[in-house]
Structure 1
């Protein structure tokens, strides 16, 4: 399904028979996948084909997890190396890259982890982390994040040493952006309570702008991304005085975000 959506992002509209040829799948499989994605609002069915639902369509977190995995794992390891030794409080937004950051912290038992992500909290529990604070709020099914005034009220009562934030797009023009304005406002409150902000963003999202801004690029202390990121945009980010750390990652043939 991810590959199908990636084709639509490039082509905007396509016939089902051409999708079947491109993906090496049967016509019945393509019809079934298109129907399922249309039910989720991720594409629009047309007569004999499918059309993109537009730039605002957000991929559910369960469909994002396998994409750019080598890059995200390398980014996570680099971000973790920036954390101080000893007791430290970190906040994590939801997302597949921040989930990789948590996995890279499996050896740390001296951290307090603050999050509004159900997925991150469950991963932390499975990992055996002892100090996890999860902010309450309204659940966004597509991202599994708790958002709104309740979550923001929690974040306003705490201070953390490092906030590690994922996003759907990062550019000098658009800042850090996500698909939902309420999620953006909640995550912005999280970032305000941090002494240091690290953005973990795979290269496909550098230069990309989505609906809602959660922070300006200049508010970030460090961007960790991979060497597939647009070099021109990377230099623009550095020109703002933001440190950018590029990691090398093995080739990844998964579709872009």
Structure 2
């Protein structure tokens, strides 16, 4: 991560756990000097996004704070691309697919954008943009009130869309995946739409990079029992891996063959 935007997105992601992050740890992780990290922390502090403490920094926000879309989009872009590519490979021609909001699911939309014979339902205007020139994909946009910045549609009109439609697959984005709290998200309005999306789908596939494991965000979305599969970039902690196996949740790790994955069932039965 050599650009300031990449580094600062990584820093904000790290402090979102609520722990103090050390300058030395950030410098090692990002392979830059401690002086560079201190400059980044200084700029983020000026923007009110963190508070510097001796030897590091801590977040000034609680569980309901969601970093801006542009910052989240810059972070772990390679991991998100791998997750999205794997997710898109699970979609067959003729299927109906619900696409949630969030940076990783928008990448799924990009990988599906050249496909044919799909029906896409989404509350994400950013996802819709990828299908604007594809006349071979039918796109249904949920109504509602737009959250600026996120460009997600929320409210009763969005709920109504998913109460009357039933899709084959849902690709769901979340703020946290925790053994006790289940699936959580930063924003209450988005979480309420996610609940309706889950009710409308036959398969619920969570697309989330590994930083989401163990984290709890502000608003409850669903218990882990609701999940059919999780697609991520690296293996979760052992306790979560065992829990996924107990709950029969298929675990897919992009670009890896992990023993944890081999223990899980596949969700590609429609292609067998």
TM-score range, shorter chain: 0.7 to 0.9
Instruction: Show the counterpart of 1:204.
Output: 211
2:80 paired with 1:72? yes
**Structure 1 residue 13: deviation in Å?**
8.2
Measured after TM superposition, the shift of residue 3 of structure 1 is 4.2
d(CA) in 2 for partners of 1:72 and 1:138? 27
- Residue among 153, 156, 170 paired with 1:149: 156
Deviation at 1:26, TM superposition (A): 8.2
Which of 87, 92, 115 does residue 108 from structure 1 map onto?
115
The Cα offsets for residues 7-52 of structure 1, whole Å up to 9 and x where unpaired, read as 645764889xxx997351786x76554323x2xxx33589xx9752
- Structure with more contact order per residue of length (Cα contacts < 8 Å, sep ≥ 6): 1
CA contact (8 A) 1:112 1:133 kept: yes
Q: Is the 8 A contact 1:204 1:229 kept in 2?
A: no
* Structure 2, gaps ≥5 residues long: 1-7, 257-272
8 Å contact 2:175–2:186 — kept in the other structure? yes
Q: Report the alpha carbon displacement of residue 247 of structure 1 after superposing the two structures with TM.
A: 2.5
Q: CA deviation at 1:98?
A: 0.7
Q: Deviations over 1:186-227 (max 9, x none)?
A: 111011111111111111112211111112111111111122
Which sections of structure 1, spanning at least 5 residues, go unmatched? 250-257
Are 2:90 and 1:82 equivalent residues in the alignment? yes
> Structure 1 stretches (4+) deviating beyond 6 angstroms?
none
SS in 1 for 2:67: coil
The answer on 1:138 being equivalent to 2:145 is yes
Q: Contact 1:203/1:230 (CA < 8 Å) preserved in 2? A: no
Partner Cα distance (1:227, 1:3) in 2: 17
Residue of structure 2 aligned with 1:248, choices 235, 255, 267: 255
Over 3 Å counting, the alpha-carbon distance change for 1:196 and 1:34 in structure 2 is same
Following the alignment from structure 2 to structure 1, what is the Cα–Cα distance between the partners of residues 128 and 107? 13
Superposed CA RMSD: 2.9
State the Cα deviation string for residues 159-189 of structure 1 (Å, max 9, x = none): 2111110111112311111011221111110
Question: Is the CA contact 2:41–2:52 (under 8 Å) kept in the aligned structure 1?
Answer: no
What is aligned with 2:130? Answer: 123
TM-score by structure 2 length? 0.76
Write the distance in 2 (CA, Å) between the matches of 1:190 and 1:141.
21
| Matches for 1:1-257 after TM superposition, within 5 Å | 1-6=8-13, 8-9=15-16, 12=20, 22=34, 24=36, 31-36=42-47, 38=48, 42-43=49-50, 51-56=58-63, 57-84=65-92, 86-125=93-132, 130-248=137-255
How high is the TM-score relative to the length of structure 1?
A: 0.80
Structure 1 residues 230 and 26: alpha-carbon distance in aligned structure 2, compared to 1, 3 A threshold: closer
Query: How far apart are the structure 1 equivalents of 2:10 and 2:226?
Result: 34
- C-alpha separation in 1, matches of 2:35 and 2:135: 40
CA deviations 1:101-149 (Å, max 9, x no partner) are 1122133121111110111112222566642111121222353211111
Q: Is the 8 A contact 1:116 1:147 kept in 2?
A: yes
